[in-house]
């Protein structure tokens, strides 16, 4: 029986016999399919030969995320995140026992995956345990450098794109997605985890305080200055989405469709917030199933437009 991270730790602890490769691959496939996401973790449009590698990377990210958010106390989370980093180091030293790392080791070795993005994700979740308020917008962006951008860089690397210009475009998209998620989940982050990602410097510009936010959350409605603040933050996120969109025409068609789905999905969340007159305090904006299907169909149709440029696959991908 497969277990989520918290239950896994309760049953096995942190010291156990190494898992078999076959069982480990099955585990990462399971955990990738067991979590709800805005869109499928592995699109049917991506090369089938990369699906298991995507499962392995996703399982690593999912575990790190759950260690940061689902264990109940910051102290225990920090302890387990330190253990997760140590397991990462063991994998790069050639030793694995945890199913995620047993599976991930093959992906890392086959594709020459760098350690840094994996470590940056751990750093982000450690930061969540130590920091729950952000003084400036730049601090929020720095958090995105650790929490979101590594995922995009890992996906690009897996697909054979390792140049810095594409990485920067990916960073813009991933940061925009993280910001959209922050503003969408403002209520949940506050009530469930006492985290506020609204930057204090921008709050100050709009004459809005933490006490005002607490009052609005209790009342269930955003006051006008809060809406003005969120409008500014939505505009900034939209600018980052626009900055990253050229990446879609710089990767092969299958990856481009996935990238466009994620980008336009994030922009759809921002449009939902606009439709609520920027009140993310009263209710969480949601994208429905029919809207997701419609988005998929529109992106697929757009990809078939004659003359739309698609970048060739990297040489290392074509040779596989």
Q: What six digits make up the tokens of 170?
A: 């990916």
Q: For residues 31 and 294, what is the distance between their CA atoms, to the nearest angstrom?
A: 27
Q: What would the pLDDT profile of 61-107 be if each residue is shown by its tens digit?
A: 999 999 999 998 999 999 999 999 999 999 999 999 999 999 999 99
Parse the chain into domains and list their residue ranges.
19-114, 131-304
Residues in the chain where the model's pLDDT stays below 70: 1, 35-44, 303-320
Q: For residues 80 and 261, what is the distance between their CA atoms, to the nearest angstrom?
A: 33
pTM of the predicted structure, to 2 decimals? 0.91
Q: For residues 65 and 169, what is the distance between their CA atoms, to the nearest angstrom?
A: 24
Task: Indicate the DSSP class of residue 72.
Answer: S
Same-fold call for 19-114 versus 131-304: yes
Residue identified by tokens 């009342």 is: 219
| pLDDT given at position 39 | 40
Q: For residues 140 and 95, what is the distance between their CA atoms, to the nearest angstrom?
A: 35
| pLDDT given at position 293 | 75
CATH code of the region 131-304: 1.10.600.10
Alpha carbon separation from 312 to 160, 189, 315 (Å, rounded): 11, 41, 9
Q: For residues 159 and 169, what is the distance between their CA atoms, to the nearest angstrom?
A: 15
Q: What value, to the nearest 5°, has the Cα angle with vertex 33 and ends 303 and 298? A: 20
19-114 architecture in CATH?
Answer: Orthogonal Bundle (1.10)
CB 191, CB 128: distance < 8 Å: no
């Amino acid at each position: 029986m497969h277990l989520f991270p918290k239950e896994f730790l309760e049953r096995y602890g942190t010291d156990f016999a190494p898992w078999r490769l076959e069982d480990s691959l099955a585990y990462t496939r399971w955990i990738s399919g067991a979590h709800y996401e805005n869109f499928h973790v592995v699109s049917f449009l991506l090369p089938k030969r990369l699906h298991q590698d995507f499962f392995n990377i996703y399982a690593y990210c999912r575990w790190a995320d759950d260690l940061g958010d689902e264990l109940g106390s910051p102290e225990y989370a920090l302890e387990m995140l330190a253990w997760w980093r140590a397991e990462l180091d063991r994998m790069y030293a050639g030793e694995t026992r945890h199913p995620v790392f047993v599976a991930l080791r093959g992906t890392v070795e086959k594709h020459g995956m760098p350690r840094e993005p994996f470590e940056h994700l751990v750093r982000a979740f450690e930061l969540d345990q130590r920091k729950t308020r952000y003084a400036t917008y730049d601090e929020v962006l720095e958090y995105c450098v650790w929490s979101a951008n590594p995922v995009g860089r890992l996906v690009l690397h897996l697909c054979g794109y390792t140049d810095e210009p594409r990485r920067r475009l990916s960073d813009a998209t991933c940061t925009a997605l993280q910001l959209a998620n922050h503003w969408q989940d403002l209520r949940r982050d506050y009530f469930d985890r006492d985290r506020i990602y609204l930057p204090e410097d921008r709050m100050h510009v709009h004459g809005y305080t933490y006490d005002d936010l607490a009052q609005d959350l209790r009342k269930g409605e955003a006051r006008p200055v809060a809406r003005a603040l969120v409008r500014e933050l939505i505009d900034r996120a939209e600018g980052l989405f626009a900055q990253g969109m050229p990446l879609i025409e710089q990767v092969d068609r299958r990856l481009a469709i996935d990238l466009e789905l994620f980008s336009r999905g994030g922009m759809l969340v921002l449009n939902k917030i606009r439709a609520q007159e920027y009140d993310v305090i009263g209710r969480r904006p949601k994208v429905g199933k029919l809207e997701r299907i419609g988005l998929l169909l529109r992106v697929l149709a757009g990809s078939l437009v004659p003359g739309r440029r698609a970048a060739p696959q990297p040489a290392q991908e074509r040779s596989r």
